[in-house]
Amino acid sequence: MIRRATVADAPAVLQVFDGVIAWFVDRGNNAQWGTQPWSALPRRVAQVTDACAMPDAWVVEAAQGQILAALVLGEPMPYVPAATGPEVYVRLLIAARDTRARGLGRRLLAFADERARAAGVTHLRVDCYAGGTGDLVRFYESCGYERLSILDLERWPGQLLGRNL
């Protein structure tokens, strides 16, 4: 079930991040988000707490109440070039490494499309990690996003992508 997120969801969303980071580390991906659990980093705890408090923050909750994924829509990140017109920006998208979460990333991006349509907006953008195998960029491309520009953020390679509905 997709529902609005609240600040009270931040610890559960941090658990999702911690699980994904552990999965990344097991695969040798230490560059995307580092190697430490975000729940142990005050800056990351504050980031996720602030994100969950945003007005267009959403979580996917399993029947048992466990948070499996999160989506936050809002203003572009400060390092992203300004939009040329109205848009919906995907600030955060994460899904647990749990079989129940399979397909939730695509489902949440489709939900973002619905939110954009409801707001009368036809353009969406997202940025993501572009290093490693490039799988994340290809994931967004498979969801209809196209590469717009490369972001170089202090040795963190990023890709800005966009989609028109």
pLDDT tens for residues 50-97? 999 999 999 999 988 999 999 999 999 999 999 999 999 999 999 999
Q: Do the strands 88-95 and 67-74 form a parallel or antiparallel pair, or are they unpaired?
A: antiparallel
Chain centre to alpha carbon of residue 134 = 16
- Report the C-alpha gap between 47 and 153 in whole angstroms: 17
Domains located in the chain, CATH noted: 2-164 (3.40.630.30)
The pLDDT mean for the chain works out to: 95
pLDDT of residue 146: 98
pLDDT computed for residue 101 by the predictor:
94
Q: What is the pLDDT of residue 133?
A: 87
Closest CA relative to residue 38, chosen from 74, 70, 80: 70
**pTM for the whole structure:** 0.94
What's residue 64's pLDDT? 87
* 161 within 8 A of 140, measured Cβ to Cβ: yes
pLDDT more than 90, % of the chain: 85
Query: To the nearest whole percent, how much of the chain has pLDDT over 70?
Result: 100
Per-residue pLDDT of 4-62, as tens digits, reads 999 999 999 999 999 999 998 998 888 888 899 999 999 999 999 999 999 999 999 99
User: Residue 89 burial (CB < 10 Å; 0-12/13-18/19+)?
Assistant: buried
